[in-house]
């Protein structure tokens, strides 16, 4: 596959790089065909020259690439595969918003509600009158609640394992509702990065897994703090699998949190939740219960309640360019590893 075009944007601070074919067309291959081509022994492996497009020296290290594929059915606008510098993501909320903004910038005439196919399900995207973009995510749910993780440096944290299009270990420090703890505000990015990494290590050492989706790999940690903005309910710090933190409030992380809030009766269907990010940007969010399911009944199995999150945020185009592959460049296949 020859990638030539890219358009970079950020969604509430978090970068997305959309990859397109010639003349801004989607690649002629459908998402199921790309997944089949890139799956080795049951595992999706993003080719190194593709990973390199989301990494230094070509991109900021928090970048998520979104490869736009031909739709595989008549009702969807396109397929999209997301990855960061270390590998594939399931869904990516900020990059979905970035993709919708990018396709409009590139001249696509998307329907009022456009369907994007992702490897974990379909999402529906809508441009809103105030210029922001909203999407309804894949069904999200809590796999396990109040799971204890022992930290290597000592101490134990308790969190929920929840699916929002990726698997999250959610640790609450916001002091709201059912947490039963006094809250705190976010410390420095470096402090929270070290803390989130220690939790990720604890999750890995305990061999914790989520449910069936994405083989149950819990590759994100979401720390939830008291908000610093008066118009937000909570602030988060989300550790991504590439070791960076999400500058946006994280669409899939907010989705996983909505599922958790729903099972704790802290947020009713359709009620608005405003999620502040590590850098102070904001997503507006709410959920509906999956058709036929009532709101959560205390005492019932949390994993039985599936919610459909809706997330809204803004994206801005920052670059529009062409990828150059110099055959003499040792980094063209991401071959340079930077020592920490
Ligand atoms: O917005 O879902 C998200 C996301 C996942 C990883 C980075 N951003």
Pocket test for ligand 1, best of 15, 16, 93 (most atoms within 8 A of CB): 93
What residues does CATH 3.10.310.10 cover in the chain?
A: 5-132+317-322, 140-312
276 close to ligand 1 (CB < 6 Angstrom) = no
CATH topology of domain 140-312: Diaminopimelate Epimerase; Chain A, domain 1 (3.10.310)
Residue range 164-168: average pLDDT? 98
Residue range 200-219: average pLDDT? 97
Question: Tokens 């059915």 — which residue?
Answer: 73
Pocket test for ligand 1, best of 101, 240, 247, 258 (most atoms within 8 A of CB): 240
Q: Who has greater pLDDT, 3 or 71?
A: 71
64 close to ligand 1 (CB < 6 Angstrom) = yes
Residue 255 Cα to chain centre, angstroms: 9
Residue range 129-140: average pLDDT? 97
What does the alpha-carbon distance between residue 201 and residue 169 come to, in Å, rounded to a whole number? 11
Q: What is the pTM of this model?
A: 0.96
Q: pLDDT (tens digit, 9 = 90+) per residue, 275-296? A: 999 999 999 999 999 877 777 7
Catalytic residue ranges: 92, 250
Burial class, 151, CB count within 10 angstroms (exposed 0-12 / middle 13-18 / buried 19+): middle
Contacts of 110 (CB under 8 A, 6+ apart): 77, 100, 103, 104, 125, 127
Residue 319 Cα to chain centre, angstroms: 22
Residue range 152-174: average pLDDT? 97
How many degrees, rounded to 5, is the angle at CA 93 between CA 34 and CA 226? Answer: 150
DSSP 165: S
Q: Name the CATH architecture for the domain at 5-132+317-322.
A: Roll (3.10)
* Among candidate residues 145, 103, 157, 152, the one with its CA nearest the CA of residue 125: 103
Residue 65 has pLDDT above 90, yes or no: yes
Residue range 178-201: average pLDDT? 92
DSSP 129: T
- CA of 93 from ligand 1 middle (Å) equals 5
What's the maximum distance between 2 C-alpha atoms anywhere in the chain?
62
What does the alpha-carbon distance between residue 136 and residue 68 come to, in Å, rounded to a whole number? 19
- What pLDDT does 1 receive? 62
19 close to ligand 1 (CB < 6 Angstrom) = no
14 close to ligand 1 (CB < 6 Angstrom) = yes
- CA of 256 from ligand 1 middle (Å) equals 11
Task: Tell which atom from ligand 1 comes closest to the C-alpha of 94.
Answer: 1
Task: Tell which atom from ligand 1 comes closest to the C-alpha of 64.
Answer: 7
Find the helix or strand (DSSP H, E) in which 294 lies: none
Residue 89 has pLDDT above 80, yes or no: yes
């Amino acid at each position: 596959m020859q990638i030539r075009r890219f358009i970079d944007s950020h969604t509430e601070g978090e970068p997305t790089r959309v990859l397109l074919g010639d003349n801004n067309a989607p690649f002629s291959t459908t998402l199921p065909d790309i997944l089949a081509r890139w799956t080795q022994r049951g595992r999706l492996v993003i080719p190194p020259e593709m990973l390199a497009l989301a990494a230094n020296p070509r991109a900021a290290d928090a970048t998520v690439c979104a490869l736009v594929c031909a739709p595989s059915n008549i009702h969807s606008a396109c397929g999209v595969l997301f990855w960061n510098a270390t590998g594939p993501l399931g869904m990516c909320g900020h990059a979905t918003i970035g993709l919708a903004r990018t396709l409009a910038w590139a001249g696509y005439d998307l329907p009022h509600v456009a369907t994007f196919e992702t490897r974990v399900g379909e999402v529906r995207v809508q441009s809103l009158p105030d210029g922001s973009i909203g999407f309804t995510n894949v069904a999200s749910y809590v796999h396990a609640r109040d799971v204890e993780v022992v930290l290597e440096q000592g101490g134990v944290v308790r969190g929920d394992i929840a699916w929002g299009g990726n698997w999250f270990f959610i640790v609450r420090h916001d002091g709201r509702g059912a947490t039963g703890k006094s809250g705190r505000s976010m410390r420095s990015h470096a402090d929270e990065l070290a803390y989130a990494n220690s939790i990720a290590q604890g999750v890995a050492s305990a061999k914790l897994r989520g449910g069936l989706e994405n083989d149950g790999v819990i590759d994100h940690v979401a720390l939830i703090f008291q908000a610093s903005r008066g118009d937000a309910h909570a602030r988060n710090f989300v550790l991504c699998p590439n070791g960076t933190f999400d500058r946006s409030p994280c669409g899939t992380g907010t989705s996983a949190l909505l599922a958790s809030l729903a099972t704790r009766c802290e947020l009713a269907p359709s009620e608005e939740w405003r999620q502040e990010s590590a850098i102070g940007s904001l997503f507006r969010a709410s959920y509906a219960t999956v058709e036929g399911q009532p709101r959560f009944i205390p005492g019932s199995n949390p994993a039985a309640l599936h919610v459909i999150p809706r997330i809204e945020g803004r994206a801005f185009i920052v670059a529009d360019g062409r990828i150059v592959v110099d055959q003499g460049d040792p980094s063209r296949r991401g071959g340079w590893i930077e020592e920490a």
